[in-house]
Amino acid sequence: MLFSAYNITDYDRSLFVGYASMLVAFSLVFVGIRNYRDKYNDGVVSFGKAFKIGIMIVLIASTIYVIAWLIAYFYFIPDYLEKYSAKMLDKLKAGGASQIEIDNKTKEMENFAKMYKNPFFNAMMTYVEILPVGLIVTLISSLILKRKTAKKLNR
């Protein structure tokens, strides 16, 4: 998926697909918490413990995502931001933006591109992209799966 980003022509659709993919991938947070609760803890898990399990899954998955993006960006698609910037400026022009707006956006994108070449900044921006999605999924999963007492079996 990372490598398909290079030839994107519809950035709005790819943004939707990207976040939908993150949600699907983070569905494993729900599975991980449920498995812990049902298989290893006699059907009981507090919100706090469920959240800790979920956030650890999210941190591991997010770190793998960030590493994959850094490799893809720096070794395979180092001109990604230039192409993205050009598309965004074309979109502004087509939308009838004034020359001042276009100039301001151009300067803003140039500054961001300079900062994005720093691997640390790049990694932090990539974490900012993915971690909020994982946090929301973890919170929802923890709320749904918390259980204070073991479920009684009907016999």
pTM of the model: 0.81
Instruction: Determine if residue 147 is left, alpha or beta; phi over 0 gives left, psi from -120 to 50 gives alpha, anything else beta.
Output: beta
Alpha-helical regions (H) of 4-46: 11-35
pLDDT tens digits, residue range 107-116?
999 999 999 9
Q: Regarding predicted confidence, which is higher, 2 or 61?
A: 61
Q: Provide the sign of the torsion angle of the four alpha carbons 85, 120, 71, 29, taken in this order.
A: negative
Query: Where residue 148 falls among pLDDT bands split at 50, 70, 90?
Result: confident
pLDDT at 87 over 80: yes
Mean pLDDT, the chain, whole residue set: 88
